[in-house]
Amino acid sequence: MKVKIVNKSLNELPEYSTQHAAGLDLRANLTDAVILEPLERKLIPTGLYMELPVGFEAQVRPRSGLALKKGITVLNSPGTIDADYRGEIQVILINLSSEKFVIQHGERIAQMIVASHEKVNWEKVEFLEDTVRGIGGFGHTGKH
């Protein structure tokens, strides 16, 4: 599938790190390094703009290495980019560690997954079909 993209950054286009990777790496587009203090959140630009086909979305997700090693994650994970959005792709990062984190230009800050999605048409009813699980939720599955 081809997706139109405008790259106003000095970075290469997002790419898959391995042959079977689902996510494309997003890189910071910065003129100066950004310091993210403990528990601080900031909007980090990528310099990328895209035109997704109707019926597709992009999700911005944390990078597992940054989350595990540095405590850096995407705050609204996953962040959703709709097919009609034409603004810059930006990432809300938060520092959940006890140490400051410096984001440099070109650093891989998140991953983006492009996927198709369905639209629903609601069918208003009075009752739902019973299941074994029923109304059990929030840790209920697998417990008897």
The CATH class that applies to domain 4-116 reads mainly beta
pLDDT for 32: 97
Give the tens place of pLDDT for each residue, 67-121: 999 999 999 999 999 999 999 999 999 999 999 999 999 999 999 999 999 999 9
Give the tens place of pLDDT for each residue, 15-55: 999 999 999 999 999 999 999 999 999 999 999 999 999 99
pLDDT for 134: 81
Per cent of the chain over pLDDT 70 is 97
- For residues 85 and 80, what is the distance between their CA atoms, to the nearest angstrom? 10
Domains in the chain: boundaries: 4-116
DSSP 95-132: E-SSS-EEEPTT-EEEEEEEEE---------S-----S
* pTM score of the predicted model: 0.88
Helix (H) or strand (E) holding 46: none
pLDDT for 132: 83
Query: Is residue 142 very low, low, confident or very high in pLDDT (cuts 50, 70, 90)?
Result: low
